[in-house]
Amino acid sequence: MVYTAYKCEQVYMKRIMVADGGLNNGNSYAFVVILYNDEQMEKVDSVWYKEFGNNPISKRIGNEVEWCEDDTFKILEDGEYVDEEDKEEEDED
């Protein structure tokens, strides 16, 4: 096959598995994907949650990462931590 390149970007990315072995919605596993603006991977562009399986999901969940202890981390949007449960309640209003 032959393709024409109209645009080409180099992507700096970290992919972290956050669920494995089957989820309750028919998906098999999930990743948090952190996209960076720079080669040193210091400036976060966006953070995505992705599930793979029968019902794939891909959604943007923030633009900052706060690294904690014991391989844990929090996702923030413009410096504010947003709990997924709080977000769902806002959507219902």
Quick: pLDDT tens for 45-74.
999 999 999 999 999 999 999 999 988 999
Domain-embedded: residue 17 = yes
Domain-embedded: residue 2 = no
Domain-embedded: residue 81 = yes
Domain-embedded: residue 7 = no
Q: Give the model's pLDDT for residue 82.
A: 76
DSSP for residue 71: T
Please report the DSSP string for 7-58 in residue order. -----EEEEEEEEES--TTSEEEEEEEEEESSTTS-SEEEEEEEEEESS-EE
The Cα-based distances of 46 to 25, 38, 40, 50, 72 in angstroms read 25, 12, 15, 13, 18
Domain-embedded: residue 1 = no
Domain-embedded: residue 3 = no
Domain-embedded: residue 78 = yes
Domain-embedded: residue 82 = yes
Higher-confidence position of 10 and 58:
58
The single-letter code of the amino acid at 69 is E
Contact between 68 and 74 (Cβ < 8 Å)? yes
Structural domain boundaries, residue 21: 12-92
Give the confidence band of 7 by pLDDT, cuts at 50, 70, 90.
Answer: very high
Nearest to 60 by CA among 87, 23, 28: 87
Per the structure, the count of domains in the chain is: 1
Give the confidence band of 9 by pLDDT, cuts at 50, 70, 90.
Answer: confident
